[in-house]
Amino acid sequence: MADQLSDRGKRILEAVIEDYIATAEPVGSRTITRSHALALSPATVRNVMSDLEEMGLLASPHTSAGRIPTEKAYRLYVNSILEVKNITRDKKDEIRRRCQMAGKDPAQVLKETSRLLSTTSSYMGVVMAPRPASSVFHQIEFVKLPGKRVLAILISKNGTVQNRLVQVDEDIRQEDLVRMANYLTDQLQGLTIAQVRERILNEMNSEKVRYDSLMARALALSEQTINTGNPELFLEGQANILDQPEFSDAGRMREIFRAFEKKSLLLDLFDRAMQADGVQIFIGSESHLLKMEGMSLITSTYMTGKDTVGVLGVIGPTRMGYGRVIPIVDYTAKLISRLLETE
Amino acid sequence: MADQLSDRGKRILEAVIEDYIATAEPVGSRTITRSHALALSPATVRNVMSDLEEMGLLASPHTSAGRIPTEKAYRLYVNSILEVKNITRDKKDEIRRRCQMAGKDPAQVLKETSRLLSTTSSYMGVVMAPRPASSVFHQIEFVKLPGKRVLAILISKNGTVQNRLVQVDEDIRQEDLVRMANYLTDQLQGLTIAQVRERILNEMNSEKVRYDSLMARALALSEQTINTGNPELFLEGQANILDQPEFSDAGRMREIFRAFEKKSLLLDLFDRAMQADGVQIFIGSESHLLKMEGMSLITSTYMTGKDTVGVLGVIGPTRMGYGRVIPIVDYTAKLISRLLETE
DNA sequence: GTTAGCACTCGATCAGTCGGAGTGCTAATC
DNA sequence: GATTAGCACTCCGACTGATCGAGTGCTAAC
């Protein structure tokens, strides 16, 4: 048969994938003729399936089991067969209702969102917070606390707050701290946090500052407060993947959990997802993460105002209800963007 | 035989428990005579074990397996047999080294501590943050951000920071915000956060405020910022318990993970642990948590200055290396207390 | 009180059997 | 020429029975 996928081939591939998604069992020719009104006999379906196998779209675990879609098949399915459903009214309401988190700590909002993604999709929810380095500086403050401690607070225009508790020798006065903070706030207007850091490091080495011990200390304080490190990653609903039959094996399960404990791997992946706007889908090994074998990731970027600032998504088995989950991710991302913009 | 536990009985019970902790397999009479120099024959040991079983300290899964310690046995072991080892020099160094987290976000410190507990014990680490309601108010601030947003920041004497992003109608001026914040900061000196909340709710209903719309709004802002809810709980190293053979069953594993997703259950338990200072041990069903069957919890309280503020600990299987883990929990709690005090 | 000896029990393991599901091929049919 | 019925074949999984080893409880001897 042709290398080209016939229309009938497509329909049968779709049937296999959908059955497999539903049952996690290899799909046989009989099953398909029964459940999908194709008006074809099992024998015919077998012929077609054999062709699909040759094209690398199906695989059989062994001779007398049914067949399983390959990654290539999922990719094809997602690209050109799947019709993304509209999100159901119910889901929409549920998401909207649970997004009523006005007045919450901004970090909490993202965590809640991650949990929301996990429960609505029944897979794992992931949200990558905005990269601290790229947000825009708004204000810095130093607050003197009892016990020779100073709390430094760094506020960004997008409303995120970084703070550090630092011990100092006791002869700093609150008035001096305020003066320093005002001066710095003035100096650093309009810079991104990354630039702020650079500026401060420069200043610290400048001649002028060398002889101003107060300023030197203020700069040191600021420097300790600035976090240009990795953005936070909120991973919720890990227990959900325990329900997936393909991970019922204890060893496999352990591997996956260990992999997710190392968040750096996921961060890389999410960084890649942030390169392009909108919904993206990584199927199995496409993510180039060894441990992601058998797992897929659906992501979408979210924004504050006009800037793409973060990524959120759902991680599940390759055998995932794409048609159902894609709109959930999409809708949630849009809702969060709106929430971050106005609130 | 007597109801009273003989000295020999104790030694044999100890041997069974230690073997079982090491291997997770039911322990037979032979094994014991071999590994622990008791100078007794297997038959004698069998007799004693039979007595121990009658006393409810041992149980046999079936006739021809060895025996397993019961919860009662663990309790006895922990109370009167176990000699808690001194913490090893290595562990001490490791913990101390990893506690060098000066300049970190206070919440991060606790999270790190939890991870530290999990890796040094190779079970699960848990840290309950100080109850927000009971910390002492220090300062409140309102910062106007672009886009009709106001960031409210609540600072406690212990260095914790709560912040909320709130949308407002645009006619509030930064000067007014500062004035309000200063006024409130002045009014609320010395109160706990819980008292602050109460005071604010009272004020909001007072006659005077009714006609001062600016003040009314400031109060509303503050009220939204205050979180008197549950303290945060940092649970790290969940993957570690997957290594325990008794949880290799997928169903059991799922149950446990699900249980830990509901943090409220653990919070209750930790609240109980906070009633008494120092190290405490909950064995299996003693915690009155249904899902804690087969698991034990070792906790210690930690303090800032003279006040007990939180609890940290390790969760592992009942079959846990108590002698090894207890000093780890103890030492970590002391170290964190010192860290929170000075820093 | 302790121990050696022995019969007994029970789970784990392994080989063998059987049935069901599914395939591929061939020949008949539309 | 495409489709289908029929059939032999393959392979897995579930079940069965036999065997083995670890461990026990009991009894009688030390």
Beta-strand (E) ranges in A172-248?
Answer: 233-236
Q: CA B265, CA B91: separation in Å to the nearest integer?
A: 31
CB contact under 8 A, B106 and A165: yes
- DSSP code of B1? -
Question: Does residue A242 sit at the B interface (CB-CB below 8 Å)?
Answer: yes
The yes-or-no verdict on residue A342 having pLDDT over 80 is no
Question: Does residue B189 sit at the A interface (CB-CB below 8 Å)?
Answer: no
B145 and B156 in one domain?
yes
A197 and A116 in one domain?
no
User: A281 near A84, Cβ under 8 Å?
Assistant: no
Q: How far is the CA of A252 from the C1' of D14 (A)?
A: 25
pLDDT average, residue stretch B324-330: 96
Q: CA A324, CA B257: separation in Å to the nearest integer?
A: 25
SS3 label, residue A236: strand
pLDDT average, residue stretch A7-36: 93
CB contact under 8 A, A161 and B138: no
User: How many folded domains does chain B comprise?
Assistant: 3
Residue A235 located in a structural domain? yes
B273 and B176 in one domain?
no
pLDDT for the residue numbered A102: 56
Nucleic strand D under 7 Å from the C-beta of B176: no
Residue B2 located in a structural domain? no
- DSSP code of A27? B
User: A13 near A52, Cβ under 8 Å?
Assistant: yes
pLDDT for the residue numbered A103: 56
Nucleic strand C under 7 Å from the C-beta of A1: no
Nearest in space to A121 (alpha carbons), one of A204, A14, A236:
A236
Picking from B167, B253, B342, the nearest residue to A253 by CB comes out as: B253
Picking from B106, B143, B343, the nearest residue to A155 by CB comes out as: B143
**What nucleotide is nearest A32 when CA is compared to C1'?**
C22
Residue A106 located in a structural domain? yes
CB pairs under 8 A between A and B: 108
Q: CA A259, CA A268: separation in Å to the nearest integer?
A: 13
Structure tokens at A286: 């496409």
Residue A143 located in a structural domain? yes
Angle at A257 between CA A256 and CA A258, to 5 degrees: 90
User: B32 near B46, Cβ under 8 Å?
Assistant: no
Structure tokens at A299: 């992501």
A272 and A243 in one domain?
yes
A295 and A206 in one domain?
no
Q: CA B53, CA A317: separation in Å to the nearest integer?
A: 47
Q: Could you tell me where the DSSP H helices lie in chain B?
A: 7-23, 29-35, 42-54, 71-76, 89-98, 106-121, 174-187, 193-205, 207-210, 213-225, 238-241, 250-261, 263-273, 322-342
CB atoms within 10 A of CB B79: 9
pLDDT average, residue stretch A230-242: 91
Residue A17 located in a structural domain? yes
Q: How does residue A243 score in pLDDT terms, banded at 50, 70 and 90?
A: confident
Q: CA B208, CA A119: separation in Å to the nearest integer?
A: 46
Question: Does residue A22 sit at the B interface (CB-CB below 8 Å)?
Answer: no
CB contact under 8 A, B102 and A163: no
A107 and A141 in one domain?
no
A212 and A185 in one domain?
yes
A312 and A275 in one domain?
yes
Burial class (CB in 10 A: 0-12, 13-18, 19+), A260: buried
Picking from A167, A250, A341, the nearest residue to B343 by CB comes out as: A167
Q: In what order do the strands lie in the sheet with A280-283?
A: A233-236, A124-128, A307-317, A295-304, A280-283
Boundary residue ending a domain (B203, B225, B247): B225
Nucleic strand C under 7 Å from the C-beta of B39: yes
**Which residues 127-146 in chain A show a CB within 8 A of chain B?**
138-139, 141, 143, 145-146
- Residue A241 Cα, gap to closest chain B Cα (Å): 9
CB contact under 8 A, A342 and B147: yes
Q: How does residue B2 score in pLDDT terms, banded at 50, 70 and 90?
A: very low
CB atoms within 10 A of CB B86: 10
Residue B148's region, left for phi above 0, alpha for psi from -120 to 50, else beta, is left
Q: CA A68, CA B108: separation in Å to the nearest integer?
A: 45
B115 and B248 in one domain?
yes
Give me the A residues in range 67-106 that sit within 7 A (CB) of strand C: 67
Question: Does residue A243 sit at the B interface (CB-CB below 8 Å)?
Answer: yes
Question: Does residue B257 sit at the A interface (CB-CB below 8 Å)?
Answer: yes
Q: How far is the CA of A64 from the C1' of C23 (A)?
A: 6
SS3 label, residue B284: helix
For residue range A177-230, list pLDDT tens digits in order.
999 999 999 999 999 999 999 999 998 888 877 788 888 888 988 988 887 788
In strand C, the nucleotides that come within 7 Å of a protein beta carbon are: 2-5, 8-11, 20-26
Only one residue has tokens 């190290």, namely B279
Residue B15 located in a structural domain? yes
Q: How far is the CA of B54 from the C1' of D26 (A)?
A: 17
pLDDT for the residue numbered A119: 95
**What nucleotide is nearest B8 when CA is compared to C1'?**
C1
Give me the A residues in range 53-92 that sit within 7 A (CB) of strand D: 62-65
Rg of chain B on CA atoms, in Å = 26
Helices (H) and strands (E) in chain A, counts: 13, 10
pLDDT for the residue numbered A343: 43
Lowest mean pLDDT among A152-166, A244-258, B109-123: A244-258
pLDDT average, residue stretch B81-90: 89
pLDDT for the residue numbered A208: 78
User: A226 near A197, Cβ under 8 Å?
Assistant: yes
Q: CA B271, CA B310: separation in Å to the nearest integer?
A: 9
SS3 label, residue A61: coil
Q: What is the CATH number of the domain that holds B220?
A: 3.30.390.60
For residue range B170-184, list pLDDT tens digits in order.
778 889 999 999 999
The yes-or-no verdict on residue A2 having pLDDT over 50 is no
Question: Does residue B242 sit at the A interface (CB-CB below 8 Å)?
Answer: yes
Using a pLDDT cut of 70, give the percent of chain B over it.
96
A114 and A13 in one domain?
no
- Greatest Cα pair distance, chain B, in angstroms, is 90
Nearest in space to B110 (alpha carbons), one of B128, B133, B122:
B128
Chain B residues within an 8 Å CB radius of A162: 105
pLDDT for the residue numbered B305: 79
Q: How far is the CA of A206 from the C1' of D28 (A)?
A: 96
What are the residues whose beta carbons fall under 8 Å from the beta carbon of B104, sequence distance 6 or more?
A164, B112
Lowest mean pLDDT among A231-240, A310-319, B205-214: B205-214
The yes-or-no verdict on residue A341 having pLDDT over 80 is no
Q: What is the CATH number of the domain that holds B14?
A: 1.10.10.10
Q: Of the segments A183-187, B35-39, B206-210, which one has the largest average pLDDT value?
A: A183-187
Q: How does residue B46 score in pLDDT terms, banded at 50, 70 and 90?
A: very high
Picking from B149, B242, B253, the nearest residue to A159 by CB comes out as: B149
The yes-or-no verdict on residue B37 having pLDDT over 80 is no
For residue range B291-325, list pLDDT tens digits in order.
788 899 999 999 987 889 999 999 999 999 999 99
Question: Does residue B38 sit at the A interface (CB-CB below 8 Å)?
Answer: no
For residue range B229-285, list pLDDT tens digits in order.
889 999 999 999 988 988 887 778 888 888 888 888 899 999 999 999 999 999 999
Q: What is the CATH number of the domain that holds B316?
A: 3.30.450.40
CB atoms within 10 A of CB A97: 9
Q: CA A220, CA A204: separation in Å to the nearest integer?
A: 8
Q: CA A76, CA A4: separation in Å to the nearest integer?
A: 13
Residue B1 located in a structural domain? no
Q: How far is the CA of A46 from the C1' of C21 (A)?
A: 14
A338 and A289 in one domain?
yes
Q: Angle A250-261/A263-273 helices, nearest 10 degrees?
A: 70
Picking from B103, B155, B163, the nearest residue to A166 by CB comes out as: B103
Domain of B100?
89-130+231-342
Which of A101, A160, A163, A243 is most worth mutating to test chain B (most B CB atoms within 10 A of its CB)? A163
Boundary residue ending a domain (B225, B249, B282): B225
Boundary residue ending a domain (B225, B245, B263): B225
B195 and B274 in one domain?
no
Nucleic strand C under 7 Å from the C-beta of A31: yes
Q: What is chain B's length?
A: 343
Nearest in space to A155 (alpha carbons), one of A119, A128, A129, A181:
A181
Q: Of the segments A284-293, B77-86, B239-248, B319-328, which one has the largest average pLDDT value?
A: B319-328
pLDDT for the residue numbered A3: 59
Nearest CA in chain B to A254: B242
Residue B289 located in a structural domain? yes
Residue A259 belongs to what H/E stretch? helix A250-261
Q: How far is the CA of A14 from the C1' of C24 (A)?
A: 23
Structure tokens at A283: 């199927």
